Structure 1
Amino acid sequence: MYKGISLFLAFFFATQLLCLAQVPGFFMKEDKRKAVIPFNASNSLIIIPVSINGNTPINFLVDTGVRSNILFSKNLGDALELVYTRRIKLVGADGNDDLMASISPINHFDLGPVEGVFQSLLVLEDEFIELESVLGIPIYGILGYEFFKFNPIKVNYDDGKMIFYKTSALKWRPLLYRKMDMTIYENKPYITTTVRQKDGSLIYPKLLIDTGANHGLLLNRETSDDITMPPLFLESALGQSLGGVLYGFIGRVEYMKLANFRLDEVLTSYPDETPFSYVIKDSGRMGSVGAEVLGRSRLIFDYPRSRLFVRKAENFFAPFEFNMSGMVVKKIPDDDNRIYVSDIRAGSPAHRAGLESFDEILSINKVPIFIWELTEINKLLRSEAGKEIELEIRRYENDDLTKWKDHKFTFVLRKQI
């Protein structure tokens, strides 16, 4: 009798363990307290190599601002021999463009010491290559909520490492970290913080934590009459989303607080209202905090306990600087290192010097362009008011790549905001 009970219990617990192992999520391959995952912090965005179903690793962006894992190319998905079950329509962040995606429901992700089991992928049917043109390195997809949902994860931007902890670890607040309450709504994390605006008023916005956005602070004016525009602002393209380019204004707030750590003169985006705004309003949020702020901190995301731990990083007090040239530079995707002027602001130093959109940059300060990384160029253009920039450019005639003239232009960086 006792032997039969023992066999039954052994079978019961083995079955339970098997079921637990089959829950979709990310887990350490070995039974340890923690595992280290190196990442590339391009523009304070978190980029890691991921192998899908045993294939060659490709770059993924780790993004708390999305619910699902996403692959940016159906052609790539087909090459990876993904299995699809159905198609769905997605609405872009601009609220206007519809995106079609195929769903691949069961995949294995390999991140080195960590693996994602039974992972679903939304595979975009139209190629999305804009992240490579903005960041200068190819990005093929996004890791979303699934990566964070079971385990505390420490992000150290200073040394480019994530630490993936066992679920039962970090029961107490780590030394030198401050705790913020974090809520998870529809698989996305939110915090409430303090912002002092330029008119002196204080607001206490609920903000989406968005590691996949390269802005600092973003405030959606349509969510509250308490959000006021600063007296000094610039009209600007704010960034590239899956659904298109977001437009609005760039200004500054007096300060914002992150776990009571104060950040002064934070660059703040004020996007135009879009048909997508109802989703933002329904979530109760007033905006988001992105990588330009988050990258100045060491963070521990603890989704299971609804907590965010924050510690100052080495660059916490570095000033927030906006592009002082007035031109936006991008990389031609899938090319060795061809950089061009994608947009230029009227009246800016680059515009006054004579530069135009679609000028291809051949050298910067006499250094050939193939030596430059796109991130280094963007740092240079934000670096120091009064700094002289000399560009050698190639200007094509009527989009004919066989006809061009080379020019040299010089301008001085100037703070515009």
Structure 2
Amino acid sequence: MYKGISLFLAFLLASHVLCLAQVPGFFMKEEKRKVTIPFLASNSLIIIPVSINGNTPINFLVDTGVRSNILFSKKLGDALELEYTRRIKLVGADGTDDIMASVSPINHFDLGPVEGIFQSLLVLEQEFLELESVIGVPVYGIIGYEFFKYNPVKINYDNGEIDFYKSSELKWKPLFYKELEMTIFDNKPYITTTVRQKDGSFLYPKLLIDTGANHGLLLNRETTDAITMPPLFIESALGQSLGGVLYGYIGRIDYMKFADFKLDEVLTSYPEETPFSYVIKDSGRFGSLGAEVLGRTKLIFDYPRSRLLVRKAANFYNPFEYDMSGMALKKIPNDDNRIYVSEIRPGSPAQRAGVQAFDEILTLNLVPTFIWELGEINKLLRSEAGKQITIEIRRYEGDDLTKYEDHTFTFSLKKQI
């Protein structure tokens, strides 16, 4: 009798564990308190290698700002022998372009000590590999909400590591961390902050926590008349997204506070309103916090307990600096570190020196471009007002790469905002 009951209970327990294992989500391969996943931080964006269905690992961006896992290339999806069940239409972030995607509903993700079970993938039918041109590192997809939904996840930008915790761990607030209430809406995390604007007025905006965006603070003016532009700003491309380049303005706020931490003179993006803005308004958010702010902290996303735990990182009080050259740079994707000027700001130091859009940079301060990482060049160009920069460029005649002239220009960095 007792033996029969024991066997029955054991069967129920085994069935329960089996059912849990079949739930879509990310789980540790071994029963541990936590496991660690190293990541590459490029402009404070979090990039990790992911193997899909046993194939060679490829780079994915870890992005709290998206609901679904995304693969940027249908050709790559076909090469990985993904199975598709249907097609859906996505709206680009600029709100004007429709993007078609094929749905691959059941896939296995391998992140080393962590695996993703029954993971759905939206596979873009139109190639989107522009992130490499902007951040300088090949990125083929995005991991979103699924990675965070069951387990506390700690992101340490200082040492480039993600700690993935057992779901029952971190019931108490770790030492030196501040706790913020975090709401999850439409599978995305939000917090409320305090912002003092340049005109002295205060905002208490609900902000999306977006690890996949490389801005600092972003405020959508169409969400409320209380958002005011600072007296000093510049017009600029704000970033690359699905559907195209986002345009708007860059300025500064007086300061912002969250979790009792205060950041002064935060660079702030003010995007132009787009047909996509209704989605932002429906979420109730005023904007978002991106990697330029988040990368100055140590974060623990605890979705199950609806909280964000924050601690200062080593670079927390570093000043926020914007490009002082006037050049927007991009890397030619899938090439040998060839970098060119994608845009030039009128009246900027580089433009006054003679640099033009589409010039290819050959050397920077006498160092060949192939030695530089794109992120290192961008860091140099916002490093110190008055710093002298000498660049050698190659200027092609139209699309004929056999006809060109080489020029050398020298200018000094100057703060624009």
Task: Tell me the TM-score range normalised by the shorter chain.
Answer: over 0.9
User: Secondary structure at the residue paired with 1:401?
Assistant: strand
What is the 5 A alignment of 1:5-404? 5-404=5-404
- The number of residues matched between the two structures is 417
1:362-391: per-residue Cα shift (whole Å, max 9, x none)?
000111111111011000110000011101
1:406 correspondence with 2:406: yes
User: Secondary structure at the residue paired with 1:106?
Assistant: coil
- Partners of 2:12 and 2:408 lie apart in 1 by 76
User: Secondary structure at the residue paired with 1:319?
Assistant: coil
User: Secondary structure at the residue paired with 2:46?
Assistant: strand
- Partners of 2:133 and 2:231 lie apart in 1 by 32
Q: Percent identity?
A: 80
Paired amino acid for 2:177: Y
Deviation at 1:260, TM superposition (A): 1.4
1:36-89: per-residue Cα shift (whole Å, max 9, x none)?
000011000000000111111100000000000000000000001111110000
Paired amino acid for 1:393: I
Paired amino acid for 2:118: F
User: Secondary structure at the residue paired with 1:370?
Assistant: helix
1:303-342: per-residue Cα shift (whole Å, max 9, x none)?
0000100000000000000000011011000001101000
- Partners of 1:39 and 1:405 lie apart in 2 by 40
Deviation at 1:3, TM superposition (A): 4.4
Deviation at 1:14, TM superposition (A): 1.9
- Partners of 2:69 and 2:5 lie apart in 1 by 43
1:101-132: per-residue Cα shift (whole Å, max 9, x none)?
00111111111111111100000011111100
- Partners of 2:258 and 2:54 lie apart in 1 by 40
Q: Which runs of 4+ in 1 moved over 3 A?
A: 1-8
- Partners of 2:3 and 2:352 lie apart in 1 by 89
- Partners of 1:89 and 1:362 lie apart in 2 by 41
1:218-270: per-residue Cα shift (whole Å, max 9, x none)?
00000011101000000111001111111110000000112110000000000
- Partners of 1:173 and 1:10 lie apart in 2 by 35
Paired amino acid for 2:30: E
User: Secondary structure at the residue paired with 2:118?
Assistant: strand
Is there any run of 5+ residues in structure 2 with no aligned partner, and where? none
Paired amino acid for 1:269: S
- Partners of 1:255 and 1:183 lie apart in 2 by 23
- Partners of 1:298 and 1:13 lie apart in 2 by 38
Paired amino acid for 1:348: S
- Partners of 1:318 and 1:151 lie apart in 2 by 31
Deviation at 1:4, TM superposition (A): 4.2
1:374-417: per-residue Cα shift (whole Å, max 9, x none)?
01100011000001110100000122111001011111100000
User: Secondary structure at the residue paired with 1:119?
Assistant: coil
- Partners of 2:398 and 2:210 lie apart in 1 by 40
Deviation at 1:16, TM superposition (A): 1.6
Deviation at 1:2, TM superposition (A): 4.6
Is there any run of 5+ residues in structure 1 with no aligned partner, and where? none
